[in-house]
Structure 1
Amino acid sequence: MTTRTRPGGLLTLPGGTTVSRLGVGCWPIGGPAHNLGMPMGWSTADDHQALAGLDRALDLGANLFDTADVYGHGHSEHLLGTALRGIPRGDFAVTSKVGYYTEPGTHHAMDPAHLRRRLEGTLLRLGVDHLDVYAFHNSDFGPGDVHLEGAVAALRGFQAEGLIRAVGMRGRHRFAPERRTLAPGEREDKHARFRRHFAAIRPDVLAVRDNLLTPPSATDGIREFARTHDVTVIVNKALGQGLLTGKHTPTAPPLFADGDHRRRKAWFTPPALAVLAPHLDEIRNRLGEGPQVLAHAALAHCLRRWPGAAVLTGFTTAEQIGQNLTCDPNRLSADDLLFLTDVGQRAQQALDQLGEVFTDEAAR
């Protein structure tokens, strides 16, 4: 591993690769897509900007990249593989995920044969012989978890073969179609399901969604739980999918084309943006103006809140990469961190008053 300055500091993943604590989330560059009858991609992506952004990230010392087979149905993995071509394998780490995309005719997304085919496709698109982390992308293992045991055995088998170095899973969350098809009272308790699946999977890596707008109840106890079980944490959605950067405003709400998952999310509508705006202004008033101030505040908050964890930042342009990866978490004082936590909680509570749909989105 080449020794150099890494954005956010250093972290050693299970398997031994040393990576930047600020990593690059590659969902947005997959572009627009549909899956499970829903828009699941990003309509604002551009391949030229994606490749330029990945090159910029490498120039800045980032060497942790997160993707999934469902992101643009493999397009994100293909772009990432293109950017990494020619770089020594030990100088970067790639994490990918499986379980949201089911090939036609496949019995279930967690069927062992399907998992192997998806892994082989992922490795081919990325141009690598192994993944540093391969994670279950959701908690749907079929009725009564009928596919859980076989799926776990499949991933541990891949690990024994040297195709993956670590097995990952997501923290407490809901399978996306569950929100759409089941009323809150019909949904299984996600905390109980997480504990059951964790006991069966015994993951090496845990993916946790957290940002300034996440209700404290969504992450309560996770840091202590991960520490107790010696599990590495990777935090995603630290920028609230762009909401915390201030680029979306109530007077100029975003326009998302077909295939963009944000079209189905109330957080991006003018009423929610109007609620959020004054709280973002509070942050600017304290920490200063400039296009990077809000992003740096949100990322630094996550880096300091999750010591010893990696934090992912998504992007669609090289400019965003340049802004995000130059964040210095140590520039914030302890009082700044307390201030950001307070502002974020007040913003989340204000959004909560708009209805349950907003509350449900905060932990996504």
Structure 2
Amino acid sequence: MTDRTEPHPAATIRLWDEREVPRLGLGCWAIGGPFFAGETPLGYGTVDDAESIAAIRCAVDLGLRVFDTADVYGAGHSEEVLGQALEGGDDVVIATKLGNRFDPATKQMAGSIADGDLRRETRSAVEASLRRLRRERIDLVQLHLNDLPIGPAGEVFDELDRLRAAGAVGAYGWSTDFPERAAAYAGRSGFVAVQHGMNLFFDAPSLLAVVEEHGLVSINRSPLAMGLLTGKFAAGQALPAGDVRSNTFGWMDYFKDGRVVPEFAGRLDRIRHLLTVDGRTPAQGAIAWLWAKSPRTLPIPGFRSPAQVRENAGALEKGPLPTDIMAEIERLLDRQPEGEARAR
């Protein structure tokens, strides 16, 4: 059993179901293993399932309770690993996402549920996730189509309302970086969370305003800038060919052509001494920065090993960054205006 650290009072959050949990989840993209769109890798390379399960159980021992995945990660494999690791655990919060079609045998993406009957495919996706997760109920189901138009998204949420009434879904939300999309459904009783890109390099003020106005939970995707804010990458460092960060997607800011973007590595160098105040690691400081931005933020850093889980969980004891440190970070970063909303 791993020793549990008592979280700082400001590093806990009360969820939509009134459970109070540490304000840190685990993002389970990396443990899904390889999956592809044609020849393009969408995962983080090969994985060791035994190591992934050990890391998940380490997180539970440390007091972490929120685990975020998606049906498409590893073409279903992330959900399967999470289900195996947490089977029988009633005191955890499992969040998953739906919206992408995929073939679990070939590990290939195959379009989106928007290509078919949205309500029928939503129900089928939830049923498949329940099987892989070994659950009778999923605490939070999120729409995984970032820029789906507002109208069709309503069909997904209508079906999720039916599944809530049947007891298969606890609540729902949207993984989107577009404030107007989140705002369109923020008043629904079942709509409780928005998952969006947010980290020290991009603080998402417009989306955070929607979250705070409606009392939602801000689930912070890419809180460590796809790993850059761990401080373990050098400017220009190359990534393995099978890693999603080896691609050049429009939404991928911190890695281009398979290498660390020097501009962001330089920004980290300018503020590293501020992130590591009070003995924090750079990753712990980046998590603490998110906590200081709003009491509604819930970062979900990725992981592969128990060591990474322990490091991230170590941020809980110290809590948010102090106000003076936050101000100095802003001064040194010389942050640009937010700009028009886009997928991140």
Give TM-score, length-normalised by structure 1.
0.78
Shift of 1:81: 0.9
Residues matched between the structures, number: 328
Aligned to 1:185: none
Alignment of 1:1-364 (within 5 A): 5-6=6-7, 9-35=11-37, 38-43=40-45, 45-87=47-89, 89=90, 91-101=91-101, 108=115, 111-139=118-146, 141=148, 145=151, 147-173=152-178, 191-196=179-184, 203-214=191-202, 216=203, 219-250=204-235, 253-258=237-242, 260-264=244-248, 265=252, 267-269=254-256, 272-286=260-274, 288=276, 293-327=281-315, 328-330=317-319, 332-346=321-335, 364=344
Residue pair 1:212, 1:344 contacting (<8 A) in 2 also: no
Partner Cα separation in structure 2 for residue 4 and residue 320 of structure 1: 15
- In structure 2, C-alpha distance between the alignment counterparts of 1:62 and 1:55, rounded to whole Å: 10
Indicate the SS of the match to 1:65. Answer: strand
For residues 331 and 150 of structure 1, the distance between their equivalents in structure 2, rounded to whole angstroms, comes to: 38
Native 8 Å contact 2:83 2:133 kept in 1:
yes
Question: Given that residues 98 and 136 in structure 1 are in contact (C-alpha distance below 8 angstroms), is that contact kept between their aligned partners in structure 2?
Answer: yes
Structure 1 unaligned segments of length 5 or more: list them.
174-190, 353-358
Q: The residue matched to 2:13 in structure 1 has which SS?
A: strand
For residues 27 and 119 of structure 1, what CA distance do their matches in structure 2 show? 18
Deviations 1:246-284 (A, max 9, x none): 211136x13223362542246224875433334323333
**Structure 2: how far apart are the matches of 1:70 and 1:318?**
23
Among all aligned residue pairs of Structure 1 and Structure 2, give the percentage whose two residues are the same amino acid: 28
What amino acid is the match of 1:151? V
Q: TM-score normalised to the size of structure 2?
A: 0.82
Which has the larger share of helix? 1
Task: Rate the CA distance shift 1:277–1:360 in 2: closer, same or farther, 3 A.
Answer: farther
The answer to whether the 8 A contact 1:299-1:329 is kept is no
Unaligned runs of 5+ in 2: 104-109
- Over 3 Å counting, the alpha-carbon distance change for 1:272 and 1:74 in structure 2 is closer
Partner AA of 2:298 in structure 1: A
After superposition, the C-alpha distances for 1:215-255 in whole angstroms (9 at most, x for unaligned) are: x5xx223333223223222222110110111211136x132
- Distance between the aligned counterparts of 2:214 and 2:274, measured in 1? 38
Deviation for aligned residue 1:53: 1.3
241-250 or 220-229: which moved more?
220-229
Tell me, what secondary structure is at the counterpart of 2:219? Answer: strand
**What is the distance in 1 between the residues matched to 2:45 and 2:216?**
34
User: What is the alpha-carbon distance in structure 1 between the residues aligned to residue 221 and residue 127 of structure 2?
Assistant: 25
**Residue 192 of structure 1: how far off its partner (Å):** 4.7
**Separation in 1, partners of 2:71, 2:288:** 29
Native 8 Å contact 1:235 1:309 kept in 2: yes
